[in-house]
Structure 1
Amino acid sequence: MKLHSNIIGEGKPFLILHGFLGMGDNWKTLAKKFADEGYQVHLIDQRNHGRSPHTEEFSYKLMAEDIQEYCKTHNLEEIILLGHSMGGKTAMKVAVMFPELLKELIIVDIAPKYYPPHHQTILEGLTMLSDSELTSRGEADEKLQEYIEEWGVRQFLLKNLYWKEKNKLALRMNLPVLKEKIENVGIALEENEIYPKQTLFINGEKSGYIKEEDRDLINKHFPKSNLATIKGAGHWVHAEKMDEFYEIVIGYLKNLA
């Protein structure tokens, strides 16, 4: 699986994995800031997302293997791996399957527990867009508004639009497979999967994805973990409170250097 990526900067390899229905480019602004600190940032599109290949298969085991293969292809060792939401689940799986690959692990607003499917309305809206003859991004936003009120969420999703041909917009993600395999997005780490090295979890105070009662489970799978909470932030903590998020990550990495 040859994953698409955008590589920014030179230095220590720093891989960032986006969330469900996202793409690497969602992290471009932060990637430039990390690159200025001496990191080579790899903004990766996971399978069935962005410009990476579409496949019928979609699981965290496969996506972790994709990252291992990516590191081999690019001769990367001792990587810093950061994942948000679905990307955080992939990063956890990489850590327990290929711990030798990692120097640092950062998980953003997701726990190693099971999450029931909760993207149904978003997937309905995207299906409607996919079935429509779209000729402008404004038209797509207007249609999507019937399903999703939050402007920020719509803008995040509309980044998936591209000009498939003249005057015809289409979505980059593999929507049919993502809908079919939606149950796989929320699966938990297996009981015996443990990553013994240092891990930083970051969550948004208002998010609800990591609850107080999840701490024990996090510590069970990641016994050397710390949790940093960003006040006033929701699930897209890195976008909502970018400066605070950046300072926490850089501070953590510099302390361990």
Structure 2
Amino acid sequence: MRPEIAVLDLQGQYRVYTEFYRAEAATKTIILVNGSLATTASFAQTVRNLHPQFNVVLFDQPYAGKSKPHNANERSLTKEEEGHILLELIDHFAAEQVMSFSWGGACALIALSQRPRTLERAVISSFSPIINVHMNDYLTRGIEYLGACERYKVGELINDTIGKHLPSLFKRFNYKHVSTLAEHEYAQMHFHVSEVLQSNLGGALEAATNINVPVLFMNGEWDEYTTPLDARLFGKHIPQSHFVTIQSAGHFLDMEHKAACRDSRQALIDFLSATPAEKRVRFHPRPAQDQHAIAI
């Protein structure tokens, strides 16, 4: 399963690395939006969950991953700018669907609020519209370590908090990745965390009120940082909102164990494949029966 690779010129100022996993029988295309400090590599399991039922597009933000060498990275990007980049990618690939993970949900909601012409459905995973006590502690410590560029402390913090339910192999990968990032990537994350702590994600709810497509919010039962209960606050702002809780899973959902992977995939396929007449259905995957680590 090899993707078609391209570096796209967007807005005349950003070069964005993309991977397009084409499936001949697929009729829909979905774009996956990374969380902070993540790259296209973090969606390896999700691609396997969605392809070949769907064409799948991955991309790196201009400051990250394989986009990084193609950009000057002289300043940090706002979530609004990331949202506009996503809008251009949706238009370029004529994508009908979007799925975001973690902090990628902020720019995804901004893009959705602009009502892109081709978009039909969206999935927002491991995201909520408020900063609860656990998330506030994580971000407060994170902004200190990011500001001082304390690489190893950032890696340890992620594994001890939002990543605590990951298999040990994934934790080692996370630690190696996060502790070897460029200084401008730490500055970018520091900028985003500062924005979030100042606004308490108020912009996410404001953007949500203009969304006119069905949106599935998917959260882990054990996720203390973006809880299923907090995510349900979006239901007051998005008329066609749907919610699913992945049993016995934390923040990283399909990466944590086989049952969470299975249930995440089932929830995605059920929602993304639903016809317009089924749009008010709420999806509830079966409770997890086992907790074996995914083989890598």
Where on the TM-score scale, by shorter chain, does this alignment land: which range? 0.7 to 0.9
- Once the two structures are overlaid, the 10-residue window that deviates more, 43-52 or 14-23, is 43-52
Cα 1:32–1:182 shift into 2, 3 Å: same
Q: How much does 1:2 deviate?
A: 2.3
Matching of residues 233-244 of structure 1 within 5 Å: 233-240=249-256, 241-244=260-263
1:45-90 superposed Cα distances (whole Å, 9 cap, x missing partner): 1243322343513222111101122234xx3224210001111222
Preserved CA contact (<8 Å) 1:3 1:70 = no
Correspondence for 1:248: 267
Matching of residues 173-192 of structure 1 within 5 Å: 174-185=185-196, 187-188=201-202, 189=204, 191=206
Correspondence for 2:248: 232
Moved over 6 A (4+): none
Preserved CA contact (<8 Å) 2:31 2:90 = no
Correspondence for 1:197: 213
Counterpart secondary structure, 1:155: helix
Task: Give the TM-score normalised by structure 1.
Answer: 0.77
| 2:33 paired with 1:22 | no
Correspondence for 2:150: 128
1:24-44 superposed Cα distances (whole Å, 9 cap, x missing partner): 21012321341222x221112
Give the number of aligned pairs.
Answer: 234
Preserved CA contact (<8 Å) 2:101 2:126 = yes
Cα 1:111–1:181 shift into 2, 3 Å: closer
| 2:57 paired with 1:42 | yes
Q: Which runs of 5+ in 1 are unaligned?
A: 130-139, 162-169
- Once the two structures are overlaid, the 10-residue window that deviates more, 195-204 or 26-35, is 26-35
Matching of residues 1-257 of structure 1 within 5 Å: 1-10=14-23, 11=26, 12-37=28-53, 39-52=54-67, 53=71, 54-72=73-91, 75-114=92-131, 116=136, 118-121=138-141, 124=145, 127-129=149-151, 148-149=159-160, 150=164, 151=168, 152-159=170-177, 170-171=180-181, 174-185=185-196, 187-188=201-202, 189=204, 191=206, 193-208=209-224, 209-212=226-229, 214-215=231-232, 217-240=233-256, 241-256=260-275
Residues in 1 aligned to 2:216 and 2:255: alpha-carbon distance in whole angstroms: 18
Cα 1:223–1:174 shift into 2, 3 Å: same
Counterpart secondary structure, 2:35: coil
Preserved CA contact (<8 Å) 2:221 2:228 = no
Preserved CA contact (<8 Å) 2:142 2:157 = no
Counterpart secondary structure, 2:113: helix
Residues in 1 aligned to 2:137 and 2:194: alpha-carbon distance in whole angstroms: 6
- Once the two structures are overlaid, the 10-residue window that deviates more, 200-209 or 89-98, is 89-98
